[in-house]
Amino acid sequence: MPFRPAADLLREPIRAAGAARGFQVARLLTHWDEIVGPDVAALAKPLGVTRGRKDAGGTLTLLALGAAALRLDMERERIRERVNACYGFAAIARIRIQQAGPAAFARAPAPSREPPPPEAVAAAAPLAEGVGDTRLRLALAALAANVLARRP
């Protein structure tokens, strides 16, 4: 059996999980902070997309951190434009904002794009040394660094 990248193995389960919540483009979930900007991503997280009628776009539901819902309401049009740019067409016509307290907001963390600390990178490098393929070795070292950075 030929070697298959992990991304190929996980693509369908991730797509199915996203589609169950209405996200036809998984990039909206995985790159949320890049799509709406870090200031908005710190205040809101996407919960789901419901389809509209054929002549109208769907509704994106956002989970907002308490009083930040008022700020997000003022930025609603900008968020809608950026999300539609991610989809490539006017998929979202409306944005619904659902307020939540810090506890509920913490249960749905946004993906972090922070690089691992240098000590985790240094500790991870020897773990991938025996791999001959350069791209695979670098990917494994990056994965190990991310895992080591998340350990308490």
| 110/63 Cα distance (integer angstroms) | 11
| 137/133 Cα distance (integer angstroms) | 6
| 106/61 Cα distance (integer angstroms) | 17
Amino acid at 61: T
| 42/76 Cα distance (integer angstroms) | 15
Tens digit of pLDDT for each residue in 32-55?
888 899 899 888 888 888 876 666
Does residue 113 surpass a pLDDT of 70?
no
Helix (H) or strand (E) holding 45: strand 44-50
Sorted by where each begins, the domain ranges of the chain are 6-107, 118-150
First to last CA, the chain: 38
Of 27 and 96, more confident: 96
Tell me how crowded residue 13 is: count the other CB atoms within 10 A of its CB: 9
Tens digit of pLDDT for each residue in 27-37?
777 788 888 99
Give, in order, the Cα–Cα distances in Å from 113 to each of 39, 45, 61, 108.
Answer: 14, 15, 23, 16
pLDDT on residue 79: 94
Tens digit of pLDDT for each residue in 2-21?
777 776 666 666 655 545 44
pLDDT on residue 22: 47
The domain over range 6-107 is classified in CATH as 3.30.300: yes
Report which of 49, 63, 60 is spatially closest to residue 98, judged by C-alpha positions. 63
